Amino acid sequence: MPTDTTAPPQRAASLSDDDRLLVAHCAALCFPSSSPAASAARSFQVHNASHPYPCAAFAFPPSWSAADWAAPSSAEDARQPFGDAEVDPALFPSLRAVGSGVPARANAAFLAAFCGLLDGSPLQTEVSRAVAEEKRIVFTGHSSGGSIATLAAIWFLEKCTRQGSVNQAHPFCVTFGAPLIGDNIFNHAVRREGWSQCILHFLLPLDIVPRIPLTPLASFREQIQAVLDWLSPQTPNNSPAGRSLVLPEYYETLLRSTLSIASYEACSFMGCTSSILGTLTSFIDLSPYRPCGTYYFLTSSEQLIVLTNSDAVLQLLFYFLQLDPQQQLLDAAARSLSAHWQYEPIKQCMPDIVCVDYLGAISSAVPGRQTDRAAIGGIELSKEAILPLNAAAQWEKQRQRNQTKIDESCQKIQEALRSLNEYKRTCELRGVSYYDSFKLQREVHDFNANVKRLELAGLWDEIIEMLRRRELPDGFEAREEWVRLGTMFRRLVEPLDIANYYRHSKNEDTGSYLSKGRPRRYKYTQKWQEQLQRAPAGSSLESCFWAVVEELQGEMIDGRTFEDLRDRVVKLESDAQGWYNSGRLGNDVFLGSSSFVAWWRTLPEQHRSASCIAKLISL
């Protein structure tokens, strides 16, 4: 692994004094002095506060029924054995991989519970009222209530982002002992949008509950119910005798599942090339759930260790549970269960607690050959634990270095684009569309343009492949400078790719450009722009104008009539007018010598006279 000692690219900031007060306030709501059973029947509570600033805190209670943790096998879209389902794109449009379009997956039961709150409770009304009163919105919850709070915070962030307005400050989400809720794409999307800093998870190192989703929820429903019964404030902790066997058995299952996932992920970011790793998931079901947000591990009443690196958090979720050789499994299970109700000290200790940058501390304290264990942040970890944690930190640094390397290629891309812009202007001065000139390839400058096209294709293909391999930071696709550059590249260069595709008649062997031949470098950059502008998917296809024209021309040559294609022709004309008026389609398309204009003039006179682009064409 690289040995660079520079600071991690995304360092966890210490909590401000106001944030500390809010965290303590959230803890007081989640762990009231009165019996927690009193508020369990409510779907949520709203508490308005004026200090440290006006805010409305929405507290979601936990559920102690396994049915609310694992969706039944009959649940729509719920995938066994882990009960995850695709998120609703209407509620969470940003929770997806932008380039590939793959939606995030989350716990189906928690998703259903949150959707039920939106539809069957005054949650939306109360949130809207608080926003109108210019209060900061705070979501909080303990146990499964924390997972619902996380979904509520992301829903609110989506809503505010789409509307282009966030009240005073970003919403604040504080959870205590919340179970993992989403997969890698879920985490990637939250980090890409810059929302991790709004979602704070407080965990005790031994708390079993955050790790429960790492076990097959459907297969262990009875055991999970036994755990929840033990944890429920309505159930005495002196559980029936039979449960003394169920709990350690489930705890052992949880340890095995967590070990499998932590080991698999560690091999991935440590660069393991063994073929066994590639086949592991074909016969072992690994939980899809991954940490998401900023994690604060409460190691003592004086210290919090802070992590934003999801890979490192996952490793700690395993290594914190490593058993002492003399420790009995039943005792370990009991300690892990008891930890779930030990968050109350946060109410008092937050003002003075110290936040420790955990990965920064590890980077400077990797155990040497003579050291078997190291105490960092108040927690003693073995050398076997420190190594993957350090590797996670180094992998994050490597991704940042990769981004720096890509940034250095920006000037080369801009120079090539300037050259192609000059080529386009030269063609227009000659009264020819640069698409048509490139397709004919009769002049030296057409050849030179093709060289630039290939050069740019290589640069952008490298970027896209690095994204697909997760070798760039999660926020790369949301960087405005790269979205703008990608849009400029796509609009200028994709018409040349289309011309090359049809010049070599690739459509005859492969199929149409749009359905079979379009490279990822254009699909990804288009989706970057649509995501940044919060535009509907597929609304930025102006760079594919010529591909649509080629398809329509080809179908007419093959014998289809205008009447068969009327709707598609009208849509093309309408799109072309809109793209031209917004500056996304160039003047050269409507030149008298343009192949598009030549084809358009073959359409019926009655249609042309009423066409919305008739005035744009040099008749």
Give the active site residues. 143, 207, 340
The DSSP H or E segment spanning 407 is helix 383-408
- Cβ-based neighbours of 562, under 8 Å, separated by 6 or more: 556, 569, 603, 604, 607
Of the candidates 191, 166, 70, 170, which has an alpha carbon nearest to the alpha carbon of residue 473? 191
How many CB atoms sit inside 10 A of residue 405's CB? 12
Token pair in block for residue 571: 């849509």
Contact 525, 575 (CB under 8 A): no
HSE on the CB side for 199, CA within 13 Å?
Answer: 27
Give CA–CA dist 67/74, Å, rounded: 12
The secondary structure of 251-298, three-state, reads HHHHHHHHHHHHHHHHHHHCCCCCHHHHHHHHHCCCCCCECCCEEEEE
- The values of phi and psi at residue 341, to 5°, are -110, 25
Q: Give the containing element (helix H, strand E) for 45.
A: strand 45-49
* 262 alpha-carbon distance from chain centroid: 20
Structure tokens that stand for 150 in this block: 């996380």
Amino acid at 556: M
Torsion-angle region of 617 (φ positive above 0: left; ψ -120 to 50: alpha; else: beta): beta
CB within 8 A of 451, min separation 6: which ones?
Answer: none
Closest residue by Cα to residue 121 from 61, 43, 68: 43
